[in-house]
Structure 1
Amino acid sequence: MYLMGLDIGTSNVKVLITDERGNVIAESAEEYPIYSPIPGYAEQDPDLWWEATKNSIKAALKSSKLNSSEISALGLSGQMHGTVLIGRNMKPLRPAIIWSDKRSISQCYEFYKTVGREKALKIVCNPIMPGFMGPTLLWIKENESKTFNGIFKVLLPKDYIRLKLTGIIATDFSDASATLLFDVRNRNWSDEIISALNLPREAFPEIFESTSIVGSISKEASEETGLHAGTPVVAGAGDSQAGAVGCGAIKAGVASSNIGTGGQIFTTLDELTVDAKNRVHTFCHAAPNRWCLQGAILSAGLSLRWFRDNFAQMEKIVGAFSHINPYDLLSKEAEAVEPGCGGLIFLPYLLGERSPHMDPRARGGFFGLTLQHSRQHFIRAIMEGVVYALRDCLEIFRELGVKIEKIIARGGGSRSNLWRQIQADIFRSPIIKTKVEEDSAFGAALLAGVGVGVYSSLEKACGEAIETIGINEPDWERAEIYERIYNEVYRNLYPSLKNYW
């Protein structure tokens, strides 16, 4: 049996086909842009997601040499928090406003004022931040009234692709729980908050468990993608939760460290745990009747991408001619630099920051620059700074009494042995590498497998399909260097600088 997973990411769509033993048969991806018509805005065209999805599905099917009827089911994963507005003609009313958008800062204050800070935090179990669906809808109501009045349904990014594939409007608990319009404790839309904000309750879709079959490939979608009409499609999950499934982080005590465009430290909760100081997020897991604790930083791999795009043109040219990933070249350069970068420290706040500071006005920077520092130091400092920021999140988990027994590396950053070793040394924990790198798409495929009975449970799916291929153990001499820098310097930089941004 074969399963397909789709991940509607921030920079591209990824399509993966796997068999029930976890062997990836084919993969394909296609990029699309982020538009920023005004500084601080971040938008994408949902129809470009669909075009990229169609092309990637066709490419994966062609590469697999399978008949599309051999695909038993399809699962969806996608970037979280974003807002897609659909009119009655089932077409987008405007470009999607995605998670990294900052236009709704003032609406976050309005949210607290209207609902009440204590009540809001008790219900949604998360701080109110720009880029999430709740404040975004308030901004649209106040600034684009014609668009707001034309809303038929409000969807999350992956759910728009489901609509195009099946004609069904639906979402899942994990993705809905990250909108700030959801009662995380009771696992349903919060009628109280939606009413208080004067939003149309009927616009919010029905919610399903991530493994539930909610529709099937329509005849029209079959003609556009090459998928077999009638193929079951499950609800799927937000990319963090789907990625956790794809790397096996579905039990308490197991954490994942994701270095993708953004970064997350993630762990599973059997019982609801909420940070009273609202420094980290609590969402519903893709695993039924479980929650997850997540620390999220906004500029993880994005920080290294910023450096690549602005200061690594030679690596991009060499990579294109030699078929070597430019990031591999950058990682190799960074290996030549000693741990700690001779005192050069990077703050990865290029888009502001979420965990633990929840400060959209925070700004990135390099600290400790001297004449002795070279280009290679900057590369390694970026890699180390991202992990220091993730360590901030991990410390909050420990403060809340959440025990972490092992950490699994996820995302594009997990491809770099150096970045995995930096995590092992800064986290002071072994870092596990699993076989499949595109874990969100892989997790979506596993959710589909559970939905159609290929696996009897998520635990069975992860046990049968996920393979560990390596472990980076901490180097305790390097770990002590990082521990000193983290405690004596890094942790003091944000509180010292925050009043200047």
Structure 2
Amino acid sequence: MLLLGIDLGTSSIKVAVTDAATHRVLATAQFPDEEAGIVAKQPGWAEQSPELWWEYVQEAIRRAHAAGGYDPTDIAAIGIAYQMHGLVLVDKEQRVLRDSIIWCDSRAVPYGDRAFAAIGEERCLERLLNSPGNFTAAKLAWVKENEPAVYERVDRFLLPGDFIAMRLTGEATTTISALSEGIFWDFAADGLSEDVFRFFGFDRALVPAVRPLFSECGGVRAEVAAALGLKKGIPVTYKAGDQLNNALSLNVLEPGEVAATAGTSGVIYGVSDALTFDPGSRVNSFAHVNYSPEARRVGVLLCINGTGILNRWVRDLSKGDYEELNEAAARLAAGAAGLKVLPFGNGAERIFYNTIPGAQVRDIDLNVHGAAHLYRAGQEGIAFAFRYGLDIMRGNGMNPGVIRAGKANMFKSPVFAAAFVNATNVPVELYNSDGSIGAAIGAGIGAGIYRDGKEAFAGLKPVQLIEPTQAGVYDALYGEWRKYLP
């Protein structure tokens, strides 16, 4: 019995097919080959085409099939992980009405700020666990005010994973977790937020059918199955935001457990059993994959927008490749000969109260610094941004003794991994896992193939443990770097 996991990222779609019985990964594939672009029609805006996402998903699935390592008709369930906080709007015929306003788009900040003030800061934090900020609800409010002709045609608003599931099954559904990440959910009432819907003037009819996160939300349509070589009716049994899914893939499910990832954006994600919030909404709290009113599991999420995107920018600027630049950067001492990079050039940063500080390169010595210095300083700057955010989490009671991460994206760089561990002074366990594998595991739980998480993660072991060896050195470097923060 096989499981298909789909990971809808910002830069690409990844899929994995796993054997439910042996936990073996039979095939993985990615599309497109080059990192997908982000459309920025104005400064601070960021959009992508949902229809392109759907094309990429289909192509990635076909590539996985082409590897020939399994029979596609043996796939028994499908799981989806997706980039969080995006807004997809469809009409009654399920046609997309405009490009998705994605997670790093900053245009809706004033709409969230007005809601925060009008509803009341204390009430928002106690019931929503967040400021409405720049999340999906505020983005929908922006469309309502600025594109009324589009808004009038909206039948349902969807998160990105809801959209892919709808294309597979023909059914528009969502989850409590997705609604919480969009800031539509009232944790005190355990229902849709009357405050948010009333303030923005949203109709509840725009909300898709709400299903449990681990449950069937439809079966694959006959025409989709035929096009992708799948059996008709295969159930989609799991949908979760990428950071919640990353935590699931690392078996981070219980209070005190902490995961991290460093893709286009960077995240530290810890689990709490309390309805916890940051007074400044600099880190955010959402319903975790195993949240229920009876057993509250809240994911506390630190997000840094400018992570892998900065790493890619430096690579493109220097016209090198990642392996060569990592090797060159590794030959340099910690601190990159005094060069400092602030990696905040990808939209409003929550850790700075949804302001846009911009990326910066400081203390350049034209006689000393080259591409390798810039690359190392960029990776160290990202690690220092993680340290800054983790200190906010520590101030709110999240004190990890170890952080789990997949050996993927920037954690494949020894320079970055060492900088992260030494800057935060927290050991990191690395696992051979990624978002698509996590989505496949989630599908197995949702389909009842696994009784619970314990069975699903049987045999999961770290492939590498990285412990701090230069914490004092990096603490001093962090102090110098932090002087340039806004």
Letter in 2 for 1:467: K
Tell me what 2:354 maps to: 359
Q: 2:268 is paired with a residue of what secondary structure?
A: strand
Tell me what 1:470 maps to: 464
Tell me what 1:88 maps to: 92
Tell me what 1:319 maps to: none
Tell me what 2:312 maps to: 305
* Aligned 8 A contact 1:245 1:462 in 2: no
Tell me what 1:320 maps to: none
Letter in 2 for 1:62: A
Q: Which residue of 467, 481, 484 maps to 1:490?
A: 481
Report the CA distance between 1:185 and its aligned residue.
4.4
In structure 2, how many angstroms separate the alpha carbons of the residues matched to 1:282 and 1:422? 26
In structure 1, how many angstroms separate the alpha carbons of the residues matched to 2:308 and 2:188? 32
* Aligned 8 A contact 2:284 2:302 in 1: yes
Distance change in 2, residues 1:353/1:36 (3 Å) = closer
1:259 and 2:250 matched: no
* Aligned 8 A contact 2:78 2:238 in 1: no
1:417 and 2:420 matched: no
Distance change in 2, residues 1:271/1:110 (3 Å) = closer
Q: Which residue of 381, 386, 408 maps to 2:382?
A: 386
Task: After superposition, give the CA deviation of every residue in 1:79-104 in whole Å (9 maximum; x if it has no partner).
Answer: 01010001011111111111111222
Report the CA distance between 1:78 and its aligned residue.
0.3
In structure 2, how many angstroms separate the alpha carbons of the residues matched to 1:64 and 1:23? 15
Task: After superposition, give the CA deviation of every residue in 1:280-299 in whole Å (9 maximum; x if it has no partner).
Answer: 11111112431111110001
Tell me what 1:429 maps to: 426
Q: 1:456 is paired with a residue of what secondary structure?
A: coil
Distance change in 2, residues 1:172/1:346 (3 Å) = same
Gaps of 5+ in 2: none
In structure 2, how many angstroms separate the alpha carbons of the residues matched to 1:483 and 1:17? 42
* Aligned 8 A contact 1:253 1:406 in 2: no
Distance change in 2, residues 1:65/1:352 (3 Å) = closer
What percentage of aligned pairs have identical amino acids? 30
* Aligned 8 A contact 1:177 1:187 in 2: no
* Aligned 8 A contact 1:120 1:193 in 2: no
**TM-score, normalising length from structure 2?**
0.94
Name the structure where helix makes up a greater proportion of residues. 1
Report the CA distance between 1:417 and its aligned residue.
2.3
Report the CA distance between 1:275 and its aligned residue.
1.6
Q: Which moved more, 1:188-197 or 1:234-243?
A: 188-197
* Aligned 8 A contact 2:244 2:288 in 1: yes
* Aligned 8 A contact 2:176 2:185 in 1: no
Q: 1:240 is paired with a residue of what secondary structure?
A: helix
Q: Which moved more, 1:50-59 or 1:354-363?
A: 354-363
**TM-score, normalising length from structure 1?**
0.91
1:480 and 2:477 matched: no
Letter in 2 for 1:18: T
Letter in 1 for 2:341: F
Report the CA distance between 1:245 and its aligned residue.
0.8
Q: 2:231 is paired with a residue of what secondary structure?
A: coil
In structure 2, how many angstroms separate the alpha carbons of the residues matched to 1:267 and 1:224? 39
Report the CA distance between 1:29 and its aligned residue.
1.2
Task: After superposition, give the CA deviation of every residue in 1:360-382 in whole Å (9 maximum; x if it has no partner).
Answer: 32111022222322221111010
Task: After superposition, give the CA deviation of every residue in 1:241-278 in whole Å (9 maximum; x if it has no partner).
Answer: 01111122222232112110000011111222212232
Distance change in 2, residues 1:299/1:330 (3 Å) = same
Tell me what 1:321 maps to: none
Gaps of 5+ in 1: 316-325
Report the CA distance between 1:144 and its aligned residue.
0.6
1:292 and 2:299 matched: yes
Letter in 1 for 2:210: I
How many aligned residue pairs are there? 476
Report the aligned-residue RMSD: 1.7
1:63 and 2:67 matched: yes
Q: Which residue of 201, 209, 212 maps to 2:215?
A: 212
* Aligned 8 A contact 1:79 1:157 in 2: yes
Report the CA distance between 1:459 and its aligned residue.
2.9
